[in-house]
């Protein structure tokens, strides 16, 4: 029976920095993304299809978006509103 590797194993060559852990934490699945943006899965699919939303990355049967890509999309989407000043 194989035993699980721990970060204390001297044979473990996998980097386990906090930055690596953050990279994994920054992936959003479709359900999380829908909840966060308060939109339906179909809306996300349609926006991806028409090029107005970042495409997902498929891993097996699941799709994910990076938090960095979503923040960039939001920044571009709201740029005019955030730059607006009243006269």
Q: Where are the domains of the chain?
A: 21-83
pTM attached to this predicted model: 0.66
Report the candidate in 41, 46, 33 with the shortest Cα–Cα distance to residue 74: 33
pLDDT at 86: 83
pLDDT at 55: 97
pLDDT at 85: 86
Q: Give mean pLDDT in consecutive 10-residue pieces for the chain, a chain of 87 residues.
A: 46 56 75 97 98 96 95 93 86
pLDDT at 18: 62
Instruction: Give the CATH class of 21-83.
Output: mainly alpha
pLDDT at 2: 46
């Amino acid at each position: 029976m194989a035993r699980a590797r721990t970060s204390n194993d001297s044979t473990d060559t996998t980097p386990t920095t906090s930055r690596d852990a953050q990279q994994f934490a920054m992936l959003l699945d479709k359900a999380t993304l829908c909840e966060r943006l308060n939109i339906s899965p179909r809306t996300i699919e349609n926006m991806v299809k028409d090029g107005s939303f970042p495409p997902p990355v498929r891993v097996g049967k699941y799709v994910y978006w990076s938090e960095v890509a979503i923040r960039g999309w939001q920044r571009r989407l709201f740029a005019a509103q955030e730059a607006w000043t009243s006269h």
